[in-house]
Amino acid sequence: METVSENRAFGGIQGVYTHSSESCHCDMTFGLFLPEEAKLGPVPVLWYLSGLTCTHENAMTKAGAQSWAAEQGIALVFPDTSPRGEGVADDEAYDLGQGAGFYVNATQAPWAPHFSMWDYVAEELPALLAENFAVDMERQGITGHSMGGHGALTLAMNLPGQFKSVSAFAPISNPTAADWGRKQLSAYLGDDEVAWAKHDATIMMKERGFDGPILVDTGTSDQFIDLLRPEALAAAVAERRQQAVLRLQPDYDHSYFFVSTFIEDHVSFHAEALYAD
């Protein structure tokens, strides 16, 4: 693992690191904010999964999460959204290939074996963090924006016990029924829709739910709301009687201005769960 940069921020350190990834068969870069408390011992961890076109950097510089994470003594992890590099397949469209890993393990050419973002986020990066930094992997929460909200919700429901809390900003909530989803799941996983189900938050909510609290914010003026299908997830949450807070925020859109407005609430929400017991 190599240090790309470390900047003092909010009394802690905002670092960027690169490492050779076994899951993705390429070098991967991630951001990690460690609050001052990490000097004294392991701190809880909040994952932030980003949306289409993003790298590790967008949320790290634009979401404003560090201010609140520092206040709560929580680390923030900002993974990249896909494998990258010259030997990695790509597509001309912004919503497929590099920058659009969709948090799945691709089984189809030309995406396999590089596009294994599920394994990368669920297993490889957590192990790397545990080995190299003062983070308490018994206290993890996960959030994300758009495609990253989809990743946060599906990872949390598929990996019971791994995350104490999950939240999302404008998540892609029902990708098996939307153009943001069918295209990518078909490309990465093939046409057998049975393999898609675990990557659909609405289906997972119907089948399994989440053993902990959920917070989801979506803007009523989100320009992509028809692709996100918050109504499908909302119905599934209510049907299951899942502990959750689903908020439709008046006049907010899909931008980082929306994310940064509500990130304080999300960090506080996770802190409450991460410090419980």
Strand ranges of the sheet holding 165-169, from the earlier edge strand across to the other edge: 2-9, 12-21, 26-34, 75-79, 43-49, 135-144, 165-169, 214-219, 245-249
Minimum CB–partner distance for residue 194 and a second copy (Å): 40
Minimum CB–partner distance for residue 106 and a second copy (Å): 32
Going by their DSSP bridges, the two strands 2-9 and 135-144 should be labelled as unpaired
Q: Which residues have a catalytic role annotated?
A: 146, 222, 254
Indicate whether 67 belongs to the interface with a second copy (CB under 8 A): yes
Indicate whether 8 belongs to the interface with a second copy (CB under 8 A): yes
- Quick one: 92 or 251, whose CB is closer to a second copy? 251
- Quick one: 7 or 20, whose CB is closer to a second copy? 7
Residue 170 tokens, joined: 């404008």
| Run of H or E residues at 28 | strand 26-34
- Quick one: 91 or 264, whose CB is closer to a second copy? 264
- Which residue is it, tokens 């993974």? 79
Half-sphere exposure of 204 (CA within 13 A, CB side): 24
Among 20, 108, 132, 221, binds a second copy (CB under 8 A): 221
Letters for 226-265 (x = contact with a second copy by CB under 8 A, - = none) are: -------------------------xxx-xxxx-xx--x-
Residue 238 tokens, joined: 């209510």
Contacts of 160 (CB under 8 A, 6+ apart): 208, 210, 211
Indicate whether 9 belongs to the interface with a second copy (CB under 8 A): yes
First to last CA, the chain: 34
Indicate whether 219 belongs to the interface with a second copy (CB under 8 A): yes
Among 1, 2, 11, 127, binds a second copy (CB under 8 A): 11
Cβ-in-10-Å burial (0-12, 13-18, 19+) of 225 comes to middle
Minimum CB–partner distance for residue 201 and a second copy (Å): 25
Letters for 69-88 (x = contact with a second copy by CB under 8 A, - = none) are: --------------------
Residues found near a second copy in the complex (CB under 8 A): 7-11, 14, 61-62, 64, 66-67, 219, 221, 251-253, 255-258, 260-261, 264
